C-alpha cells in the first residue's frame, strides 16, 4: 500500500509548473504506480512513481489507435476498407479478435476489435494497413511519442506484448489518453462500448468500471505477467473530466477498485476553476519600439487551475512581464509569467503569451523610445 501524495500539479512545457505539496490524504492506492490528471487544467492531482518506466501491456494500443485515427483523418485508410489479414496478424498470441485470412474484415471492424476486445491480431492488421509493416508502424508510434513529449515512453511493437525496451510511465500514458480524447472525440465513444461481436464470438470490454460507474466512459485495460493488472480510466462529472492511470495492480478486480478510488478522490477533494477566458487580456504590459505602446497578453485557450475543494477564493495572482519588452512581438510569444499563491505559498506558474502581433515602429518611433529608455 502507498499513501496518496498530495496535489502534484503537472510540470511540463505544455502545462504549468510545480507547486508545493499539501498534507497527504488518508486514501491509499494498491499499485506499483498511478497518476490522476485533470484534463481541463492539465494538472496532475496526485501520483506515485508516475515518471518511472513500467511495462504498459495493452495500454500500448492507445497510441496504436491514435495513429489509426490519424490515418482515417488523413484518408490514408477508409472505415469500410477491407484489410488483408497477414499470417503474422492471424497468429498473434494473447488477447485476440479471432480474424481469419479467408474472412473479409474492414477497418471499422478491426478498430472495434482493437479497442473493445483488445485484439492483438486486430492491432497488427491495422498497423500493417497503415504503414505496410508492424515495424514501420512502431517507428511512427515512437515518433509520435516524441512529438507529444512522452519522455519515458519507448515502443517495441503495436500491441503491448512483452519485448525488451518496451516501456512507458503513468504520466506519459495520462498525457497520451488526454490527447486521444481531445484530438479524436468522434472515435472516443468506442471506449465506452461494453462488448463487441465478431465472427460469432462476443467478447466483453474488460474495463469493469463501465458497469459500475455511469460517469466512466473509458478507456483501456492491460495485463501481462510482467506488467500486472493495469487500467486507464476516465470519468466526466459536472462537465469536468479526470483521467486515472493505475499500473501493476494485483488482480483484475483490484485494478478496477483502485481506479474507482482514484477517480472518486479527485472529484471529491478538488475543484477546477477558470481564471481567464480564452484570449482574455490578463495584462497589457508596455512595449517599446513598436507600432503599439501596449500588448494584450494572456492565455490563448484560457486558463483553468485545479485546487483543493473550497480553496479557490484563497488564490492570489501576480503577473511578471519581461522588461523592457521590445518589438517586434508575435502572437503566442512568451512575454511573462503568471505566478499563483494559495494561502500565501507558491502554488502554480504558467507562461503568459502575446495575444497579438506588435510590428517594429518606424525610425522616428524607435529613436524616440530608445531615448526614453536611456532616461529611465
Q: Is 61 a catalytic residue?
A: yes
User: Which of 109, 173, 176 minimizes the C-alpha distance to 147?
Assistant: 176
- Helix, strand and coil content of the chain, in percent to the nearest 5, comes to 30, 30, 40
Q: Is 19 helix (H, G, I), strand (E, B) or coil?
A: coil
Of the residues 33, 41, 61, 168, which is catalytic?
61
Encode 224-249: b = buried (16+ Cβ within 10 Å), e = exposed. beebbbbbbbbbebeebbbbbbbbbb
Q: Is 168 a catalytic residue?
A: no
Count of C-beta atoms within a 10 Å radius of residue 25? 16
Contact between 360 and 328 under an 8 Å Cβ cutoff? The reply is yes
Burial class (CB in 10 A: 0-12, 13-18, 19+), 266: buried
DSSP structural state of residue 330: -
User: Which of 176, 126, 128 minimizes the C-alpha distance to 150?
Assistant: 176
- In whole angstroms, what is the distance from residue 350 CA to residue 38 CA? 16
Contact between 255 and 34 under an 8 Å Cβ cutoff? The reply is no
Q: Is 233 a catalytic residue?
A: no
DSSP structural state of residue 266: H
Of the residues 33, 64, 95, 118, which is catalytic?
118
Which helix (DSSP H) or strand (DSSP E) does residue 5 occupy? none
Of the residues 41, 58, 169, 233, which is catalytic?
58
Q: Which residues 6+ apart lie within 8 Å of 223 measured at CB?
A: 57, 58, 229, 230, 252
Q: Which residues 6+ apart lie within 8 Å of 356 measured at CB?
A: 292, 295, 296, 331
DSSP structural state of residue 97: -
| φ, ψ for residue 119, nearest 5 deg | -70, 120
As annotated, the active-site residues are 58, 61, 118
Amino acid at each position: 500500500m502507498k499513501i496518496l501524495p498530495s496535489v502534484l500539479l503537472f510540470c511540463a512545457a505544455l502545462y504549468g509548473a510545480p507547486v508545493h505539496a499539501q498534507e497527504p490524504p488518508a486514501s491509499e492506492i494498491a499499485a506499483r504506480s498511478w497518476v490522476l490528471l485533470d484534463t481541463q487544467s492539465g494538472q496532475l492531482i496526485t501520483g506515485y512513481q508516475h515518471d518511472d518506466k513500467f511495462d504498459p501491456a495493452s495500454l500500448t494500443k492507445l497510441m496504436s489507435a491514435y495513429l489509426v485515427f490519424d490515418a482515417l483523418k488523413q484518408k490514408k485508410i477508409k472505415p469500410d476498407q477491407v484489410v488483408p489479414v497477414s499470417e503474422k496478424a492471424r497468429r498473434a498470441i494473447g488477447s485476440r479478435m479471432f480474424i481469419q485470412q479467408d474472412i473479409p474484415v474492414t477497418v471499422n471492424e478491426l478498430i472495434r476489435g482493437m479497442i473493445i476486445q483488445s485484439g492483438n491480431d486486430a492491432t497488427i492488421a491495422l498497423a500493417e494497413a497503415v504503414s505496410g509493416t508492424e515495424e514501420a508502424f512502431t517507428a511512427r508510434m515512437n515518433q509520435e511519442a516524441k512529438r507529444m513529449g512522452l519522455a519515458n515512453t519507448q515502443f517495441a511493437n503495436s500491441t503491448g506484448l512483452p519485448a525488451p525496451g518496451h516501456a512507458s510511465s503513468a504520466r506519459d500514458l495520462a498525457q497520451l489518453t488526454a490527447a486521444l480524447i481531445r484530438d479524436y472525440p468522434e472515435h472516443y465513444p468506442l471506449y465506452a462500448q461494453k462488448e463487441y461481436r465478431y465472427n460469432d464470438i462476443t467478447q466483453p470490454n474488460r474495463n469493469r468500471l463501465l458497469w459500475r460507474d455511469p460517469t466512466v466512459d473509458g478507456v483501456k485495460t492491460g495485463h501481462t505477467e510482467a506488467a500486472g493488472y493495469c487500467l486507464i480510466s476516465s470519468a466526466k462529472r459536472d462537465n469536468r473530466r479526470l483521467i486515472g492511470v493505475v499500473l501493476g495492480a494485483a488482480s483484475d478486480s483490484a485494478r478496477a477498485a483502485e481506479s474507482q478510488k482514484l477517480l472518486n478522490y479527485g472529484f471529491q477533494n478538488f475543484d477546477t476553476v477558470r481564471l481567464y477566458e480564452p484570449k482574455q487580456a490578463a495584462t497589457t504590459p508596455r512595449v517599446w519600439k513598436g507600432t503599439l505602446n501596449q500588448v494584450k497578453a494572456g492565455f490563448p485557450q484560457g486558463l483553468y487551475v485545479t485546487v483543493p475543494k473550497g480553496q479557490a477564493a484563497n488564490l492570489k495572482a501576480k503577473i511578471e512581464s519581461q522588461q523592457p519588452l521590445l518589438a517586434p512581438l508575435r502572437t503566442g510569444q512568451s512575454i511573462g509569467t503568471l505566478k499563483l499563491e494559495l494561502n500565501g505559498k507558491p502554488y502554480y506558474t504558467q507562461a503568459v503569451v502575446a495575444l497579438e502581433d506588435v510590428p517594429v515602429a518606424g525610425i522616428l518611433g524607435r529613436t524616440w523610445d530608445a531615448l526614453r529608455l536611456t532616461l529611465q
